[in-house]
Structure 1
């Protein structure tokens, strides 16, 4: 006995056994669990559930049955796994947020998009949906092959006929061993159009198919953001699809804004999404949200994000897209079982496999119907023969000793006297076939009436026409394809609906600017090179003659040298004393408090130690229609097309050539036919048209713009933008004035110009000059770091050759070093003086971008 037992034990190497067993396990998982069949789009568990429901006659127009019964029958008859495995699959097929066209009509709690689990299967009920019946249709007409179930006690279909194109319409997801599938759902209207196109023209390429099947259509809607991933998936079977939530900004009556989300990306859990967003707000990854509410109900999804009063809704929405699952990726992997093997399919291949399957189903169904029709016609032919020879039939039956003898005598035509008669049996030597003879014996006497004879003749003629038609279908491939197309039209008529997922073709990757609010900033740079940006709200509006507020804590030897207003999305071009140029986005400048020193500029730009910033220009883009106009302390001007500066290296590029005894004092963006005014330290001005200066390259020196006396120098440059504007000039001792532009005549460049302001001992030399309008404001900075924001309207408008009025009160030993214009936007309201008196930080909101440059003081 022991020897016999030892003979049944075979020694094997464990590594070989593990390899073989693992491969067997892998193939079982791939073929029998995780991957769908390309023909009906179903995994074995899904197919068996539908077959079990079909056995229970759970049609859409019939009553519901307990899911426990369905799961039990599926597990007991077809699927050799526990009911706890079958029920989740049943639930999945009933969830309208997981299936584009649900295959199960569930009654009860089948889970939710919030991730709540379904009720136990003893509480829920289900039946098939109409889409499922189209998968099972014609199953009884020998349209598919069958195989034995797990214990070989029943037969189950290996695939369903699938009049409804389930795989591409509902998609599929599954993880096997070493491979996975993730096929997105699509719209039946688009799929049918693509299938019909491929049927009509088998040489159709994928771009032509994409004209009809544009992109996936998810059950939860949303927005597909960008089509490159979709097109790649359709070409190769793999791709990444970016899906966004559908959101819009609502403006309330009080002016506040809310972001309202009505659809979220496919497969995103709503509750988890909101929890993650709350964490992002708590961690300050997302700023600008004051509250999150989930107002979803029977009417649909509605998630409300309340925006803080000072936040921009579009920026907050972009932050939500960037950091949360409001924008997610769907990794497409169109893997399916094809002829018993897993294959990665492109769009055309997937559609073609479905067409081939439907073609086979149509052929097998037609053959089945033809066989049935021919068999019935054969019986009717026998009945017609019997009615034509009724007396002989009756005599033959009466004279026979038994039914078997009667059948045999009828078949042989015993004692039948009909000349040249070959019978209707279709068999040589027999008048009637066995089937026909049996039908005659089973025929009731009532069929001997004339009315019954007419019915038999009518049915026979109809069957003959049907046989002719079915035979023609089998012989005509064109008719076979037309049947497939007609059935697709039926599916569209029955299940067609509007696309739920919106498509955005011209999508772009997130830019950091999408996540940063666009707002005006006051940018200051100190003499020792400390830079920072602040909101204009940090400075209160004061009337002419105010003392200002502290703007920066500087060292005793340091002071604010440049001050200007620019948008966070603007470029800043930095031009140095050596004639080099750098640029930097405003949002990359660290934001600081009003009294903070800022960050050393050398940490942001690679400027040489012996070089320093001489002029700064703010601009939105580099183009060929505008020019960079520069002016030096010795009156040399130059004009260069703006696009010449866009490819700036980290270590800068040459902007202009500067003589050893000269310095750059200003730069500005100009357009054609604009006037430029140069203002000197001694109070003289020169206005000339830009056409007086020819366009030059970056590395050129320039031409003479104004003639200077030996002790004079240029301190500022103004680009004339409006004939209604004025020139606001301010001197070192805080005095200044406004003068209309029409008082400054246009002259040829190179002359001495005209008087702008008297530089008396009271005024001191000119420090800065800006073009302003009556409702503008200006920001003035002193050497001690004091800044004042004052309304231009409070400064007198006088002629050129005057001294002006006091603009700012200076402390002892202090002096004005710079001034910049702050244009007032139309939306700004007047500043409440009482509120301004209570807090230094209250100012009116917003200012347009300054296109002029900040200049070096004398």
Structure 2
């Protein structure tokens, strides 16, 4: 041991504790956590400051990334070059930062996880928004400190005109703590900041009226708001992100899922590999092919489905098993006065406003001092100009400049600075115009000095300046929100977010379904040619037209006798000419099955209603059955058995009743039977039912069933060739069920077979909507259709062209808006062709 040295005994636990504390504090303060004021970690701040020192403004040429990295390493950041370059690369990636701070040129990686090119190949410069973070740095707005070798000064924080911590977020792992802060929309954050300035007592709920939630650079959807609310209130929370996916139908009538946005920080290539791996392992069924069609225009991942696959089921499986649904754990930890703190939304906004207030105050103080210095010099120049001859004589008489300066100070009571300025003044400043210019400059400076002093004396003026600068940031960088926010199950009823509007639901013969606003169909005069109501294939036509409302429940009954449940708002909405989506992808019906009947119910939760109402069903061969509505109030995803169907028969109609109505059944041959509902006893779901009507022959079949409660209603019938009429229910006498019935329309070659039997209760408020097999739609007022006897052929309702025939007809309620609709679309109504001749006597049972 050398002379003078000695060994000091230390407990190793204490030594390790102290060393670890020093290390951890260094990591926390100098590496891993952002500053609450500018939202930057030291390395980010040094990269931006280094680029600023290199003159890499947004309007200047790019410089090699290696040059920038060398500048930062050599002057400010004594760590590895990869740390600096990786930091700069991330600040240039539009999928990493909501508002990128670096403008990169070259290969800066991709959302697929590709590595950026080496720093010697890429170039970079600052973006305009980064310049706003650095603005006024030279005006003593922030403190500076010595760099690692005490040779240079670097800023401890940037002035930051924009709340960068909120708009770009941050992530980092320190020692014993971590931060994970999501990005937000600049417009929302700035508006919330202005609201806080106007009312510092505003609470989190008030701020959330402006800041709806995180806004990720990759878009996607946030599923649920509970995690957002928790994070904004406590600083910690969890949000679920889902990819944005649409379901399309390709040219082969197969569905496919198109993914255009993925969750934040999810690797696209890895996600596609994950999907393919799950398909190969048979854990994800229904997918035939996955292809990445992304290009410069945007992201597009195409998931082709097998023909029998349910697109919505496959999409839900993708969310469940792949990163297409991911979570973002929010942990708002940032440095406040050098100490890590967990911050809520108001805390972050408050600290930013406090920082901006300090910046504006220091900037104003600096500008005041500079203005006062300049005014002081100009005042001296004006004194010299007022005594120009004497000043010139004094200078000429002086042996040296120092003597001249001393003479000016003594003679005119000037300061050292003023005397020096006079001696440095060029001869051209002695002209009259130059004197006037100096006087104007002095006047302007005095006005600025008064303004600066007023700002420093009034906190409201300083807050006004902050708000004005924030408005400027919105004008320069404000954009639309990219990430949608939807409510998850259990947070809010979805129907509370959907207007309860009148809807027309259409189902085609080949099983395509959609809903359309009822107001999209304008009323026409009877006999018009109609307008195209839906886009269908040549071999397809609309078979069902359902008048309902958005919030209602629909029970679908298939020809095989199964029942399925759906809400109207779950049906895809489209225009009149849209084709819709296959109903097999909305409910899990068999491929060979078809929806044949339906009922709409306002609610399935009212037990009194469920126990006092029935569903009456009729089959093509004339069977009827009555079952309590309660038995159909909770169908399973795969459906429930509604009625047992005999071989060769199929379910045709299902109607909701109160148990005290009359049933009217009409057949293709133009006959109808009316009997009391109580003639049909209540049965279970699996029963086959009893005979409702006896058909005329093997060609005959039931075309419709009505439920009537009194004799005030009319029965409206429509034939294949476009003829129809109304007949009072009174003309259909009540008989026993099972009979052959009485004639309801005179069937002939001219009018064709009967295709629809409908009930009319309020002719002045109801319209008849007809769709042909070619997809032509006409809507007419029921009040314009003649009321005729049972044994007539009716009047022409629609002109048919090219061998077209009536496919379907339904009654819809006329809205107030539609009452003023323009009648007629292409042609004027025809004169009704009325034929009341009775060719065939009534045939009772």
Normalising by the smaller structure, the TM-score range is: 0.5 to 0.7
Alignment of 1:130-209 (within 5 A): 130-209=128-207
Q: C-alpha separation between the residues in 2 aligned to 1:450 and 1:26?
A: 68
Q: C-alpha separation between the residues in 2 aligned to 1:304 and 1:365?
A: 54
**Residue deviations 1:373-415, cap 9 Å, x none?**
00000011111111111222223223333322222222121xx
Q: 1:250 to 1:198 in 2, by over 3 A?
A: same
1:21 corresponds to 2:29: no
Given that 2:46 and 2:77 are in contact with CA atoms closer than 8 Å, whether structure 1 keeps it comes out as yes
**Alignment-derived partner of residue 370 in structure 1:** 368
| Alignment RMSD (CA, Å) | 4.5
**Residue deviations 1:336-370, cap 9 Å, x none?**
11111111111111111111111111111011001
**Alignment-derived partner of residue 97 in structure 1:** 95
Alignment of 1:225-240 (within 5 A): 225-240=223-238
**Alignment-derived partner of residue 566 in structure 1:** 562
1:466 to 425, 445, 448: 448
**Alignment-derived partner of residue 4 in structure 1:** 4
Aligned-pair CA distance for 1:285: 2.1
User: 5+ unaligned residues in a row in structure 2: which ranges?
Assistant: 494-558, 567-587, 591-598, 617-624, 637-653, 665-673, 709-735, 741-753, 757-806, 809-845
**Alignment-derived partner of residue 475 in structure 2:** 493
Q: 1:715 to 1:727 in 2, by over 3 A?
A: farther
Q: C-alpha separation between the residues in 1 aligned to 2:378 and 2:460?
A: 32
Q: C-alpha separation between the residues in 1 aligned to 2:70 and 2:470?
A: 34
Match of 2:87, SS?
helix
Given that 1:219 and 1:500 are in contact with CA atoms closer than 8 Å, whether structure 2 keeps it comes out as yes
Aligned-pair CA distance for 1:674: 5.5
Given that 2:243 and 2:263 are in contact with CA atoms closer than 8 Å, whether structure 1 keeps it comes out as yes
Which range moves more in the overlay, 45-54 or 485-494?
485-494
Given that 1:26 and 1:176 are in contact with CA atoms closer than 8 Å, whether structure 2 keeps it comes out as yes
Q: C-alpha separation between the residues in 1 aligned to 2:704 and 2:121?
A: 88
Match of 2:5, SS?
helix
Aligned-pair CA distance for 1:205: 1.7
**Alignment-derived partner of residue 535 in structure 1:** none
Given that 1:225 and 1:507 are in contact with CA atoms closer than 8 Å, whether structure 2 keeps it comes out as no
Alignment of 1:45-84 (within 5 A): 45-84=43-82
1:447 to 429, 438, 444: 429
Q: 1:289 to 1:156 in 2, by over 3 A?
A: same
Q: 1:28 to 1:565 in 2, by over 3 A?
A: farther
Aligned-pair CA distance for 1:264: 0.9
**Residue deviations 1:208-258, cap 9 Å, x none?**
221221121111111122222212211111121121111111222331222
Q: 1:266 to 1:60 in 2, by over 3 A?
A: same
2:120 to 111, 119, 122: 122
2:414 to 415, 432, 443: 432
Q: C-alpha separation between the residues in 1 aligned to 2:704 and 2:60?
A: 90
Match of 1:328, SS?
strand
Given that 2:614 and 2:657 are in contact with CA atoms closer than 8 Å, whether structure 1 keeps it comes out as no
**Alignment-derived partner of residue 642 in structure 1:** 630
**Alignment-derived partner of residue 35 in structure 1:** 33
**Residue deviations 1:690-728, cap 9 Å, x none?**
6799xxxxxxxxx999xxxxxxxx9865597xxxx6699
Match of 2:465, SS?
helix
Q: 1:5 to 1:472 in 2, by over 3 A?
A: same
Match of 2:461, SS?
helix
**Alignment-derived partner of residue 337 in structure 1:** 335
- Bigger Rg, which one: 1
Given that 2:691 and 2:737 are in contact with CA atoms closer than 8 Å, whether structure 1 keeps it comes out as no
Given that 1:91 and 1:118 are in contact with CA atoms closer than 8 Å, whether structure 2 keeps it comes out as yes
Scaled by the length of structure 2, the TM-score of the pair is 0.63
Q: 1:199 to 1:727 in 2, by over 3 A?
A: farther
Which range moves more in the overlay, 143-152 or 435-444?
435-444
Aligned-pair CA distance for 1:78: 0.6
Q: C-alpha separation between the residues in 2 aligned to 1:357 and 1:127?
A: 26
**Alignment-derived partner of residue 439 in structure 2:** 457
Match of 2:96, SS?
coil
Given that 1:38 and 1:336 are in contact with CA atoms closer than 8 Å, whether structure 2 keeps it comes out as yes
Q: C-alpha separation between the residues in 2 aligned to 1:619 and 1:460?
A: 82
**Alignment-derived partner of residue 297 in structure 1:** 295
